[in-house]
Amino acid sequence: MMSERPTALQPEMPPTRWGDPAHATGLPDGVRDLVGLVFPVRDTPARADATIPAPRLSAEHVAGLRGVVGDDHVVTDDELRRRRTRGKSTPDLLRQRSGDLSDAPDVVVRPGSHDEVVAVLAYAQQHRIAVVPFGGGTAVTGGLVADPTGLDGVLSLDLGRMRRLLALDPVSSTAVLEPGLRGPEAEALLAEHGMMLGHFPQSFEYASIGGFAATRSSGQSSAGYGRFDAMVVGLRVATPAGEIRLGSAPANASGPDLRELFLGSEGAFGVITEVTVRVRPLPEVKEYEGWRWESFAAGADAMRALAQSDLLPTVIRLSDESETAINLADPESIGGAGSAGCLMIVGYEGTPAAVAAKRAAVTAALTELGGVPLGPEPGLSWARGRFAAPYLRDSLLDVGVLVETLETATFWSNRDNLYTRVKAALAESLGEGTMVLCHISHVYPTGCSLYFTVAAPAGDDPLARWLPAKAAACEAIVAAGAAITHHHAVGTDHRPYLTAEIGELGAEVLRAVKRTVDPAGILNPGVLIP
Ligand SMILES: Cc1cc2nc3c(=O)[nH]c(=O)nc-3n(C[C@H](O)[C@H](O)[C@H](O)COP(=O)(O)OP(=O)(O)OC[C@H]3O[C@@H](n4cnc5c(N)ncnc54)[C@H](O)[C@@H]3O)c2cc1C
């Protein structure tokens, strides 16, 4: 076993905003003027006078927990409790901005090891305290909002001290990572050995290894490197009923694959304390480029053709006409006469020979399918700005523009139906002045994910405007027979729609597992399980 030093801690995210405060740029005046042409802009600052409810846990329990993990790692400080309140969806941010801290945990507990997690769970089970595992805090579907009804309080189980690379097996290409490692930290530790994971969600800067596994996350290079769940070889999980270790071999026929039960379990079945992932050599070459398509349908058909011919590059993403027009300062620059068409970003990573071979084959296929190559600049521009959008969301919320995203997935034959229904549901609910943008960035031989970005005037009560719009979109997704989520997970927000997807018996199976591993129901109550 190797025990590598943890990398330096990143700065905490502000409670009302995304990301590293040093990276926040604000809206340049020119952009604010442009936004003002479309939306009624007005300064909408966060309230500074939020008051946090007094902790419900007794001093005796705080002392009891200190006995488990040490005095320094049980924190009742208001500021940290505020930062551990909810995640980073737009409703989460709007609630924080309005000073609503009603979901604040009573205490933040920071275990340093698997054994300490086990001990905290035992204490919480014995004393009926809800436990909310907290990785990076980037949840966007209410996965960090527990319902403590019938329990004596809520404990945020902050995994931020468990941030080591525990083992690396270069022969098998596997690594064992602790759950609290953030994306950049995990990649930096692996890079010291010339290896990488290759998981780059837009939340990469802050989201954690445990969170990726617990939500079945999918990153921007999913076409080449796969979803996070496909990278997981093994798991170690602490549950109130005991420990479970999974992943004895690269593949097996030892009954149903129980890894799948804990991947995506969102803290409701246990705390993931170790994740064994498959790793790969760092790419020697990275090349990104743009392609233009006449329409979203033409570009999507081309993605399907690549996926079905085993010809996917490392990155492939296609914006619809609206997203293309918004994202490009000059839509005409991608060659449309009067119409911007649709921008596709294609990226290749690997050895020079592998990149050259894949690129030649993909270029021939895309050309044959009617795509127009735009050269490297659109690709480089995407690569430069790939983690910037969440910062822009804050700046837009600051000037009274409501911005949120949602995602789903379906089979190729249902793609257009799903796209049309969700767009219509959002536009109808939010009314005049609403923009609904869409892109495809995760594709499979059988289908794809659709990712929608919505921008609308925030009005006086943006939350009251957004919640019915989100419900309308979810109902449209259910009516279209699509997945309620492709990679954002279920949390509390999608829980009402899960049974429609997995059936009543499927929901009962989940409840039965929950009863077995968490008989007292302390783990993330209200999250995931219908
Ligand atoms: C701006 C932005 C962009 C995003 N982009 C993407 C994207 O491109 N792709 C994508 O897939 N997602 C994306 N997300 C969603 C989010 O980042 C992912 O769901 C991510 O995997 C969550 O990781 P986390 O460490 O932040 O988890 P947290 O937010 O801390 O927790 C998420 C859920 O998992 C549980 N959990 C966390 N750690 C553990 C653990 N060790 N054991 C058991 N349960 C645990 C929590 O209790 C909670 O229910 C985005 C979110 C934001 C805010």
Q: How is 305-320 classified by DSSP, letter by letter? A: HHHHTT---SEEEEE-
Is the per-residue pLDDT at 178 higher than 80? yes
pLDDT band at 7 (very low <50, low <70, confident <90, very high): low
Q: What residues are paired with 438 via a beta bridge? A: 452
The confidence band for 348, taking pLDDT boundaries of 50, 70 and 90, is: very high
Does residue 221 line the site of ligand 1, with CB under 6 A?
A: no
Q: Is 134 in the pocket of ligand 1 (CB under 6 A)?
A: yes
Would you state the pLDDT for residue 50? 85
pLDDT tier, 293 (very low <50, low <70, confident <90, very high otherwise): very high
Please report which confidence band the pLDDT of residue 28 belongs to, taking 50, 70 and 90 as the band edges.
confident
- Mutate which of 20, 157, 200, 215 to test ligand 1's pocket (most atoms within 8 Å of Cβ)? 215
3-state SS of 27-74 is CCHHHHHHHHHHCCCCCCCCCCCCCCCCCCCCHHHHHHHHHHHCHHHE
Q: Which has the closest alpha carbon to 469: 444, 498, 434? A: 434
pLDDT tens for 9-24 read 679 999 999 999 998 8
Is residue 117 in contact with ligand 1, taking CB distance under 6 Å? no
Which is it for the CA torsion 431, 432, 433, 435, positive or negative? Answer: positive
Strand ranges of the sheet holding 372-375, from the earlier edge strand across to the other edge: 372-375, 285-293, 342-350, 315-319, 435-440, 447-457, 401-411
Rounded mean pLDDT of the chain? 95
**Residue ID of nearest Cα to ligand 1 atom 21:** 212
Residue 119 parent element (H or E): helix 114-127
Q: What is the pLDDT of residue 327?
A: 77
Between the CA of 137 and the centroid of ligand 1 the distance, in Å, is: 7
Q: What's the rounded Cα separation, in Å, for the pair 458 and 479?
A: 27
Which pLDDT band, with edges at 50, 70 and 90, does 51 fall under?
A: confident
**What residue owns the CA closest to ligand 1's atom 23?**
211
Ligand 1 centroid – CA 135 distance (Å):
7
Q: How far is the CA of 494 from the centre of ligand 1 (A)?
A: 14
Q: How confident is the model at residue 280 (pLDDT cuts 50, 70, 90)?
A: very high
Ligand 1 site-directed mutation target among 16, 96, 132, 138, most atoms within 8 Å of CB: 138
Compare 134 and 27 and report the one with higher pLDDT.
134
Cα-based distances in Å from 496 to 174, 478, 492: 37, 11, 8
Helix (H/G/I), strand (E/B), else coil: 210: helix
**Mean pLDDT within 282-290:** 98
171-to-278, 280, 354 alpha-carbon distances in Å: 11, 11, 21
DSSP labels, 355-420: HHHHHHHHHHHHHHTT-EEEEHHHHHHHHHHTTTHHHHHHHHHHTTEEEEEEEEEEEGGGHHHHHH
Q: Give residue 218 CA to ligand 1 midpoint distance, Å.
A: 10
* Rounded distance from Cα 489 to ligand 1 centre (Å): 8
Q: 464: burial class by Cβ within 10 Å (0-12, 13-18, 19+)?
A: exposed
Measured from the CB, is residue 178 less than 6 Å from ligand 1? no
**pLDDT score for 528:** 98
Residue 253: count of CB within 10 angstroms of its CB: 6
228 lines ligand 1 (CB under 6 A): no
pLDDT at residue number 342: 97
**3-state class of 511 per DSSP?**
helix
| CA pair distance 190, 168, nearest whole angstrom | 9
pLDDT of residue 334: 52
CA 180 to ligand 1 centroid distance, Å:
11
Q: Is the pLDDT of residue 259 over 70?
A: yes
pLDDT digits (tens, 9 = 90+) for 416-435: 999 999 999 999 999 999 99
Average pLDDT over residues 372-381: 96
Whether pLDDT at 256 is above 80: yes
Q: 210-251 pLDDT, tens per residue?
A: 999 999 999 999 999 999 999 999 999 999 999 999 999 999
**How close is the Cα of 251 to the center of ligand 1, in Å?**
26
pLDDT of residue 49: 83
**Band (3; pLDDT cuts 50, 70, 90):** very low
Residue 100 has pLDDT above 60, yes or no: yes
Q: Which atom in ligand 1 lies closest to the alpha carbon of residue 269?
A: 43
Name the residue with the closest Cα to ligand 1, atom 34. Answer: 266
Contacts of 291 (CB under 8 A, 6+ apart): 299, 343, 344, 345, 346, 366, 371, 372, 373, 374
For the CA of 89, the closest atom of ligand 1 is 53
CA distances to 36, 86, 113, 209 from 17, rounded to whole Å, are 22, 12, 30, 22
Asked if residue 330 has pLDDT above 90, the reply is: no
139 DSSP 8-state letter: -
Q: Which of 42-46, 240-244, 330-334 has the lowest mean pLDDT?
A: 330-334
Residue 217 in contact with ligand 1 by CB distance below 6 A: yes
Which pLDDT does position 1 carry in this prediction?
45
pLDDT of residue 8: 56
Q: Are 356 and 290 in contact (CB under 8 A)?
A: no
Q: Whose CA is nearest to atom 4 of ligand 1?
A: 203
- Determine the distance separating the centroid of ligand 1 and the alpha carbon of 61, expressed in angstroms: 28
Q: Decide: residue 145, CB within 10 A, 0-12 exposed, 13-18 middle, 19+ buried.
A: buried
How large is the average pLDDT for residues 130-137?
A: 98
CA 524–ligand 1 middle distance (angstroms): 14
pLDDT tens digits for 387-408? 999 999 999 999 999 999 999 9
Q: Report how far residue 236's alpha carbon sits from residue 276's, in angstroms, rounded to the nearest whole number.
A: 8
**Can you tell me the distance from the alpha carbon of 197 to that of 215, in angstroms, rounded to the nearest whole number?**
17
Phi then psi for residue 398, to 5 deg, are -60, -25
